[in-house]
A = this chain, B = another copy of it.
């Protein structure tokens, strides 16, 4: 039994307008309609919305998310391409993780220095930041 846009919105905890916005943007397939023009969604629409929100929190843009979701569409014959694109995204994610690890180490150095309360009274965050910023970018 299909869901209305309001039910989907409530289940995924997003605004109705947002769903329509995603549809316009192409992140959401145009759904079937009732004779009266009401949108009808299957349950996976909720999962899709949750994925979008989650991916956004991880810093992916809607465009990137659209690509991620698009991987599903062209399957079968285009499976090679799907795999390639997926591996690219994995690389991207891996890089982001590495960067965050560096950021974490920077912060840990700061916290440690702070805890040691050095007699110099000079909190080393700026030097830490320079180290951080120059590691590889």
Chain A residues at the B interface, C-beta cutoff of 8 Å: 44, 47-48, 50-51, 54-55, 57-59, 68-69, 71-72, 75-76, 79, 82-83, 86-87, 89-90, 93-94, 96-97, 99-101, 103-104, 107-108, 110-111, 114-115, 117, 121-123, 125-126, 129-130, 132-134, 137
Contact = CB atoms under 8 A, between A and B. Distances in A.
A46 to B, nearest CB: 9
5 contacts: A47-B130, A58-B99, A71-B125, A90-B107, A90-B111
Number of chain copies forming the complex = 2
Given A86-B111, A114-B83, A129-B48, A104 B97 contact: yes
A93 B83 contact: no
Contacts of A79: 114, 117, 123
A24 B135 CA distance: 29
B132 A51 contact: yes
Contacts of A111: 83, 86-87, 90
Q: Is the interface of A mostly helix, strand, loop or mixed?
A: helix
Contacts of A48: 126, 129
A55 B115 contact: no
